[in-house]
Every structure is written in C-alpha cells, then in structure tokens.
Structure 1
Amino acid sequence: MAGNEDLQKLSSKELHDRAVKLAVRRGDVKFLWRLLTSIPAAEAAAGNIGESEADIKYVLPMIDDYFHAGDGAIAEVLRPFYLEYLAGRS
C-alpha cells in the first residue's frame, strides 16, 4: 500500500481509479456504496446542484455517476474520501 505522501502526489482521477479498483478487488461493497451515496453531496459541493437533486431521486444516475466520480470537480471533492480509503483508514 502506498504511503500517504505518495498518495497525496496523485491526481484525484488516479485516486478514484485506485480506490475503486482496490474496493472491487477486495469485494468491498461497503466502500462502493459509501462512494455512491457520497456523490450527490459532491455534485452539490462542485456546484452541480441540479445534478445532485436528480441523483438523490434516482438510483440509475448514481450508477452512472459512479463511473464518472473520478472526473473533474467531483473527483476533487471526493479526493479526501479516496485518500482515506487508500491509506487504510476507512
């Protein structure tokens, strides 16, 4: 497992990809569910208010968001979540 300093150097997209890959490899449904349920708040924090409201109402968009949670402003908001998981503190 990479140290926290090494993880801090990665882009948010890289953190997302590593965290999701690790969770899938571990079968860590809890982490993946926490990620899915964190996305609407991340959308709102990133300024995508309409998207966050839609995500709360519909499950399928959340699944789509899961695939894009490593992109742009959403990834930046979720960065601490990925760092915590990859550093083994989750």
Structure 2
Amino acid sequence: MNVNELEALPAHELHDRAVRYAVRHGDLGFLWDLLKVIPAAEAAAGHETDADLTKVSALLSDAIAAGEGELGEALRPVYLEYLREHPEA
C-alpha cells in the first residue's frame, strides 16, 4: 500500500492494521510505545486523563479503542509512521 493510500484510510483502520501487524510479529516495542503515548494523545484530543499509569487495565482498554474518534485522530501520525516502516502490514 502506498503512502497516499495509507493517508486516506480512517484512523480506526490505521490502528487495526498497525496493532494487528505488531501483535502478529511480536513487536512489543511498538505496542509499548503506543501505550506510552496514549495519555498525551488523549490530552491532545481534549480528554481528561488520569496521569497514574499504574492503572494498567484502563490503559489497555484505551489501547484497544485507540483507533476511534478524536483519540484515533490524535494517534494517526503514530500509526502512519509505523505502517510506513512496515509496508507489508
């Protein structure tokens, strides 16, 4: 998929492709990086965030839904960068 086709995809599709590829290839680094940027992306999307990252279950829940709505749009650059690095995804 070329860059223009990737950029035309909705955020939820970018999320699904990136996360599915990372899980399938055991790319824990990307998944960990995604978890780390979610609080900042939520803040950028105008959502109140709980800065306590010890709430792992809430963070994982956010990661699953991280392709939807304003959060998905805030994370769009993260997904695009990862998918550009892995064009086979």
TM-score, normalising length: structure 1: 0.88
**Superposed displacement of residue 66, structure 1:** 0.9
For 1:62, the equivalent position in structure 2 comes to 59
Calculate the aligned-residue CA RMSD, in Å.
Answer: 1.4
**Which residue among 76, 79, 85 is the counterpart of 2:82?**
85
Task: Name the SS for the 2:77 alignment partner.
Answer: helix
* Whole-Å separation in 2 of the counterparts to 1:67 and 1:55: 18
Q: Percent identity?
A: 51
Q: Is the 8 A contact 1:40 1:55 kept in 2?
A: no
* Whole-Å separation in 2 of the counterparts to 1:10 and 1:85: 14
Paired residues, what number?
86
**Superposed displacement of residue 53, structure 1:** 1.8
For 1:3, the equivalent position in structure 2 comes to 2
Give the gaps of 5 or more residues in structure 2. none
Matches within 5 A, 1:23-42: 23-42=22-41
**Superposed displacement of residue 56, structure 1:** 3.1
TM-score, normalising length: structure 2: 0.89
Inter-CA distance 55–81: structure 2 relative to 1 (3 Å threshold): farther
For 1:44, the equivalent position in structure 2 comes to 43
